[in-house]
Amino acid sequence: MHSWSSGLSPHPGPALPRGQALLNDPLLNKGTAFTEIERDALGLRGLLPARVFTLAEQAARVLENLRKIKEPLDRYVFLTNLQNRNETLFYKVITDHLEEMVPLIYTPTVGQACLQFGVIFRRPRGLYVSIHDRGRVAEVLAHWPFNDIRMIVVTDGERILGLGDLGALGMGIPIGKLSLYTACAGVHPAYTLPVMLDVGTNNATLREDPFYIGLRQPRCTGAEYDAFVDEFVDAVRHVFPRALLQWEDFGNTHAFHLLQRHRQRICSFNDDIQGTAAVALAGLIGALRITGGALRDQRLLFLGAGEAGTGIADLFVAALRDEGVPEHEARARCWFIDSHGLVVRSRLAGLAPHKVPYAHDLPAVPRLDEALEAFQPTALIGVSGTAQAFTQPILARMSALNRRPIIFALSNPTSKAECTAEQAYGWSEGRAIFASGSPFAPVTCHGQTITPGQGNNVYIFPGIGLGALISDAREVSDAMFLIAARTLAHLVTPADLSQGRVYPALSQIREVSREIAIAVAAEAYDKGLSRSMPPTDLRTAVQESMFEPQYVPYV
């Protein structure tokens, strides 16, 4: 196993590999940037061209080649190959060009990458733990070559973005999320581990696909599934005792259950439930800085009642409760439309547990337009994965009800968005305050250019994770997500708001992550959730912990 020093900015130990083995290690490889002295000392003479390049020169070469590639998926493959060859150079390119690169390594391109993951598969990254590994999961985890893992993103591939059950092809999500942890919050890549829990897939087409990389069997469920995940959590606690676990893209049936079952057993959170909630709440708070309204006066109508929607509502209720609004009144300000219509008490017998608190004593309403008329919301939030569900009549009616209607089309990838930015602005006469899960280009409408906000979880989860790691937290509390949402909303500048944007520019994401990490770590120390003593200067401790993609001398 590689061994790294303590802290969150590890450096190679004294036993560096030499020669070709060093060039094949993406965490240590510098390629043509190895110095003359290093080439002699590390057995590299003759294995590289004679000229020594700087990191900046290497990055320029990468950009030159990347920008010649037209298709986003081909760019994703190019960057993946770079990451597998030289991680420092990969992260140098990403961090210096965040607005250009994040859509390539994550949404929206990662959705297409997952659909094609079996075809584009070149080199395994992370751990694939299958249901057939029952009884020896700890042994499988111990095969990982790094022994001080701090951040694990795990999925079972059942609900990948808005694309459904992709089974083992969903491994692109943990890989992408952890790349964002490094690029956006400076978590050193040596501390990160993507994990796929392969329990089969109910996608019959995939099971017949000759290039499918996972188990070709239906999903296991029930007690067998729970026992497998229990063993995985126990194995993580044993093999990587300082790791934080992020649950990602599990189906609704399992997502809430696993979070509640394990959040006290291991430091963990569910990004689809809690991260989405925080970024959406931050967007609402930002929108109110434009409209001048109060949070307690908002009425939220959700299209979609899964983990994302109810997670947003739960955090909205927590924020109102914090302002002194009784919980039952806060919940009454959230209505949900699912595949069967309005979530109401007459449907209790068939409702999933996470929907029950939002089942109101109202007549059944089957359609979104009818619920819109009955409730007259101030904000319409799409988390359904149903493309084009926010039609022109729906948005026109929202605009008639509200001077500045809040329209959040948060479903990913772009193909699943409930409406586009152009539609939201065009159908509201330019008055909508719009945010989406995937990026949209600025729109010129009624003589003004409006920059849509991207309500992407990347604004939240890297800072949450970094704060939890810095503070050595035992638990990621619900309060941390409320604090993160308020911190993010506070970082939106008047210039952002004047452009119609309710989130900071993506180019500021490292600063956003740093501020959220500071706030989250302070909460952990203040509430006794940390296993360590607070540093004398928390801000400096966070800043100094953040990995910067620069080459360090080996000799």
Active site residues: 106, 177
**Number of residues in the chain:** 555
CA gap 106, 94 in Å, rounded: 11
Crossing angle of the two packed helices 252-262 and 307-322, in degrees rounded to 10: 50
The amino acid that residue 517 corresponds to is A
CA gap 520, 480 in Å, rounded: 6
- 473: three-class secondary structure by DSSP: strand
Q: Which residue has the tokens 């067998």?
A: 224
Report the relative pairing of strands 379-382 and 341-342 from DSSP bridges. unpaired
Strand partners, 292: none
Run of H or E residues at 371:
helix 368-375
Contact assessment for residue 131 and residue 220, using Cβ atoms and an 8 Å cutoff: yes
Question: Is the bond into 14 cis (omega within 30 degrees of 0)?
Answer: no
Residues contacting residue 539 through CB under 8 Å, at least 6 positions apart: 518
Q: HSE (CB half, 13 Å, CA atoms) of 128? A: 17
Contact assessment for residue 275 and residue 457, using Cβ atoms and an 8 Å cutoff: yes
Strand partners, 337: 303, 342
Residues contacting residue 524 through CB under 8 Å, at least 6 positions apart: 467, 468, 471, 473, 477, 480, 530
Crossing angle of the two packed helices 509-526 and 538-545, in degrees rounded to 10: 130
Q: Give 266's DSSP letter.
A: S
CA gap 512, 102 in Å, rounded: 15
